[in-house]
């Protein structure tokens, strides 16, 4: 017994020593506790294509967005982010890319998977064991904090999902979505054919690499990275595809967790076939369990509707009776639902609705979902670009974005706080990167980054004009009245009579509209910023015309662009 205790103590010291410089604890045999189980695709006689990328399968992107483990603090959480990213992508593939995008919460693993070591690293198989025995929620329930139980965070009911109010109290919602896996396994070292078959048939693999070699030798760009450095495994990533260059150089497509401004939009091509940076040694697969079939979505009635065009005057555009930006010819262009009230309460609805509607439009008009974009609300708050956590205005936010631009969320994690009075809109408040310099000690610094702008913005008035703008260019940001009764909304078409003198106190995005066949009444579909636990998976429906909390009274649109205004270019030359 004494020898066993001493052995466990020695192992713990060894793990903590390695964790100081590694977020993926591949202790060779120790890491490979778990089933040497062949993946579901084993034995399939697939003719594999020369090039395959889950980010572009027949023009459709099945990958969830790139994350950044290094903000708002450095956290050695690559193991948790790679695992939740891989499972999220596989859920999206199982659901054939249908609305909504589900982005699983890595924070739950950091708080609750006590066999692993939080921000000091983790072992993939231990995490898979924990997920299979428990469950995860999405990021609107449990946002990434870049800290763990080793930093004093608890694992309790609120870790999985919570909601907070303006008086500082928080509680567990009555309902929220849960996700888990039914099985997982490991692929034999250097079994490249099995790796490719499993990726092709079921989705990305969670693998390990020698990130230190990449850090030392990679110069950026979209070329194929090669290295002879076979140093220790230090990092966990996902492999989402493969290909060959025109010259015949084979490569893997690796998705990292360092944000969109790292590498090639968060990705890198790694030479395939000779175990470059040990990428072909430690790969695992997981099979998500279908727990989403009973989720309620705001466009659920469209499936039974007979599509017709609405009759309009000759000068007006003919529009479909039902339209939803989460299903435009089978493609979901909507950015994920967020929760403005987490990790603590912040009245940032004006910024959330503005940023999300612009992100939707970027996905539709510019990137075509390749990649999917999510804009940084925290940067808008840090620069007081239209308001603060005490409220703001969408037109002022659009004006600020037009003049200054806003980066993507990988630059600044939403922390639901206004900036310090002496550090508003500084370079580090707009885009930062944090690195490890010692146990629980990090240093952060500003980095160059991409920004998105608005070329024009305007107010839209009238039901027809709102519909036309939505169908042609994407969601709008609109004001509305929130009442105590509306806060309890759980689904259906909500209607409430309000006094004309009551002013709007909330902003949301209008993302669709439809017609209720039994009653013949038209309704709007809107996205809230109160998490997926609210309403119909974060969305709600209001009547068109009246008794609709004034949602048509103050609607704005912005046209996104990645080109800075000439005045800004001149100022920076």
- Give the H or E element holding residue 142: none
CB atoms within 10 A of CB 423: 10
**Beta bridge partner(s), residue 460:** 555
Longest dimension (CA), the chain: 88
- Give the H or E element holding residue 407: none
Three-state DSSP class for residue 253: strand
Size (the chain), residues = 573
477 Cβ contact partners less than 8 Å away, ≥ 6 residues apart: 350, 353, 354, 357, 394, 398, 507, 508, 509, 555, 556, 557, 558
- Give the H or E element holding residue 387: strand 387-388
CB-based contact 270:167 (threshold 8 Å): no
193 Cβ contact partners less than 8 Å away, ≥ 6 residues apart: none
Separation between Cα atoms, residue 228 and residue 211, nearest integer Å = 13
For residue 71 the two structure tokens come to 């903000």
239, 131, 224, 233: which is closest to 178 by C-alpha?
131
| 271 exposure class (CB count in 10 Å sphere: 0-12, 13-18, 19+) | middle
Residues that are catalytic: 349, 506, 528
Q: Which residue has the tokens 């949602």?
A: 551
For residue 353 the two structure tokens come to 């609705």
137 Cβ contact partners less than 8 Å away, ≥ 6 residues apart: 104, 105, 108, 160, 161, 176, 177, 178, 179
Q: How far is CA 302 from the centre of its chain?
A: 26
CB-based contact 237:207 (threshold 8 Å): yes
Separation between Cα atoms, residue 107 and residue 179, nearest integer Å = 14
Q: What is the DSSP letter of 362?
A: I
Separation between Cα atoms, residue 64 and residue 408, nearest integer Å = 14
């Amino acid at each position: 017994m004494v020898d066993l205790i001493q052995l466990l103590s020695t192992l713990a010291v060894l793990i903590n020593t390695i964790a100081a410089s590694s977020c993926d604890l591949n202790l060779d045999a120790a890491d490979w506790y778990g089933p040497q189980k062949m993946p579901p695709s084993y034995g399939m006689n697939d003719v594999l294509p020369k090039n395959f990328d889950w980010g572009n399968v027949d023009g459709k992107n099945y990958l969830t967005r790139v994350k950044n483990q290094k903000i708002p603090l450095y956290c050695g959480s690559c193991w948790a982010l790679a695992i939740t990213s891989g499972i999220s992508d596989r859920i999206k593939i199982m659901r054939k890319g249908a609305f909504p995008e589900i982005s699983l919460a890595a924070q739950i693993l950091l708080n609750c998977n006590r066999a692993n070591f939080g921000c000091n690293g983790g072992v993939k198989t231990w995490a898979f064991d924990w997920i299979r025995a428990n469950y995860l929620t999405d990021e609107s329930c449990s946002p990434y904090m870049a800290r763990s139980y080793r930093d004093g965070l608890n694992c309790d009911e609120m870790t999985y999902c919570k909601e907070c109010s303006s008086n500082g109290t928080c509680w567990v919602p009555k309902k929220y979505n849960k996700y888990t896996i039914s099985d997982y396994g490991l692929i034999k070292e250097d079994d490249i054919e099995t790796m490719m078959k499993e990726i092709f048939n079921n989705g990305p693999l969670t693998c390990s690499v020698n990130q230190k070699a990449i850090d030392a030798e990679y110069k950026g760009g979209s070329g194929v990275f090669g290295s002879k450095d076979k140093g220790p495994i230090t990092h966990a990533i996902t492999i989402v595809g493969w290909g060959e260059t025109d010259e015949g150089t084979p490569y893997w497509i690796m998705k990292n967790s360092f944000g969109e401004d790292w590498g090639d939009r968060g990705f890198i091509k790694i030479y395939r076939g000779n175990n470059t940076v040990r990428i072909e040694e430690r790969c695992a697969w997981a099979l998500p369990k279908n727990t989403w079939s009973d989720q309620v979505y705001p466009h659920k009635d469209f499936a039974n509707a007979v599509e017709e065009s609405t009759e309009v005057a000759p000068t007006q555009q003919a529009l479909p009776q039902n339209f939803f930006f989460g299903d435009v010819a089978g493609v979901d262009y909507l950015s994920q639902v967020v929760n403005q009230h987490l990790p603590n309460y912040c009245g940032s609805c004006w910024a959330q609705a503005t940023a999300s509607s612009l992100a939707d439009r970027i996905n539709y008009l510019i990137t075509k979902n390749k990649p999917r974009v999510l804009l940084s609300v925290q940067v808008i708050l840090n620069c007081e670009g239209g308001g603060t956590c005490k409220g703001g205005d969408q037109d002022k936010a659009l004006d600020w974005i037009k003049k200054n631009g806003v980066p993507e969320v990988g630059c600044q994690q939403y922390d639901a706080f206004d900036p310090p009075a002496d550090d508003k809109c500084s370079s580090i408040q707009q885009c930062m990167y944090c690195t490890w310099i010692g146990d629980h000690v990090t240093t952060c610094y500003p980095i160059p980054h991409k920004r998105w702008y608005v070329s024009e913005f305007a107010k839209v008035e009238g039901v027809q004009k709102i519909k036309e703008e939505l169908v042609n260019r994407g969601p709008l940001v609109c004001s509305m009245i929130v009442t105590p009764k509306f806060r309890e909304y759980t689904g259906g078409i909500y209607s409430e009579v309000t006094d004309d003198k009551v002013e709007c106190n909330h902003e949301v995005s209008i993302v669709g509209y439809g017609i209720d066949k039994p009653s013949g009444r038209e309704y709007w579909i809107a996205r809230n910023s109160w998490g997926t636990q609210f309403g119909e998976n974060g969305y709600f429906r209001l009547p068109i015309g009246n008794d609709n909390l004034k949602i048509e009274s103050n609607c704005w649109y912005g046209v996104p662009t990645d080109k800075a205004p000439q005045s800004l270019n001149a100022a920076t030359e």
